[in-house]
Amino acid sequence: MNMVDRRFRQADGEGVETVLNGGRLVCDPSGVVFAPEHGLLIVSDLHLEKGAAFARRGMMLPPYDTQATLALLETAVARHRPVHVVALGDSFHDRHGAALMPEASRERLGAVMAGRRWTWISGNHDPEPPTGLGGETAEEIVVGPWTLRHEPSPFARAGEIAGHLHPVARVSGRGRSVRGACFASDGSRMVMPSFGVTTGGLNVLDRAFQGLFAPDRAKAYVIGVARIYPIPFHALSV
């Protein structure tokens, strides 16, 4: 099974509810978070037009990434029917991605955005507002008990939801090891998995995550094929 097929199989799985800073969230196996009381869907690190960005630098990647990522996003939006979508930065792989996006992809994204509030959070890959796509742009936004931004801050107050680090977790046992994208949280803050179908990941036990979570409460909500598995950090492998 290739990575894209696996992502779509995972998207049909069961989500898991959690509480973050007193507010209820649903971690969806597609890789989004949904807040039912707010009609809010949060997605991070779409990295649209990554293949095109690499091609401009003379490096070839499979050209399907934008269409596959948009199809997965359509699935998540259709499942939850949000009134507000917040994209937590790095929505495009570089600052030219939105302007150079093919018209067919632009129309497909526009259809997903239509009829709902849409907020683009600035990322390190896409610091400027996306050209000609509509929606609003912000460095961060507060919704209910949560502060939504691209990069997690070691000094953030409770309720931060961020992306940027592309968390993955490794679980070992009985002579085998399984690695998967995950939501990382300790109930006070969360780092979301990357949503783009050709993005990589960083182990939650890497030093980049140190200091972000309370060690005794930190869990990786690992996305499996059929469901999400909440696993304490202390039970994970490097």
Residue of higher predicted confidence among 45 and 156: 45
Q: Report which DSSP code applies to 196.
A: S
pLDDT score for 64: 79
pLDDT score for 237: 94
pLDDT score for 11: 84
Q: Does residue 207 sit in helix, strand or coil? A: helix
Nearest-angstrom CA–CA distance, 155 and 7: 33
For 13-27, 170-184, 190-204, 209-223, which range has the lowest pLDDT when averaged over its residues?
170-184
| The amino acid at 235 | A
Q: Report which DSSP code applies to 116.
A: S
Bridge-based pairing state of the strands 176-185 and 190-191: antiparallel
Query: Which pairs count as long-range contacts for 23-26, CB under 8 Å and 24+ apart, including other chains?
Result: 23/144, 23/145, 23/146, 23/159, 25/190, 26/80
DSSP 24-79: EEEE-TTS-EEEGGGTEEEE----BTHHHHHHHTT----TTHHHHHHHHHHHHHHH
End-to-end, the C-alpha distance of the chain in Å comes to: 24
- 6 pLDDT higher than 80: yes
- Rg for the chain (alpha carbons), in Å? 17
Q: Does residue 231 sit in helix, strand or coil? A: strand
- Give the Cβ contact number of residue 137 at 10 Å: 17
**Residue range 48-64, pLDDT digits in tens:** 988 776 666 666 666 67
Nearest-angstrom CA–CA distance, 57 and 104: 23
pLDDT score for 141: 98
Q: Which residues contact 102 (CB under 8 A, 6 or more apart)?
A: 66
Nearest-angstrom CA–CA distance, 136 and 117: 8
The third-level CATH classification (topology) of the domain covering 3-235 is: Purple Acid Phosphatase; chain A, domain 2 (3.60.21)
For 52-66, 197-211, 217-231, which range has the lowest pLDDT when averaged over its residues?
52-66
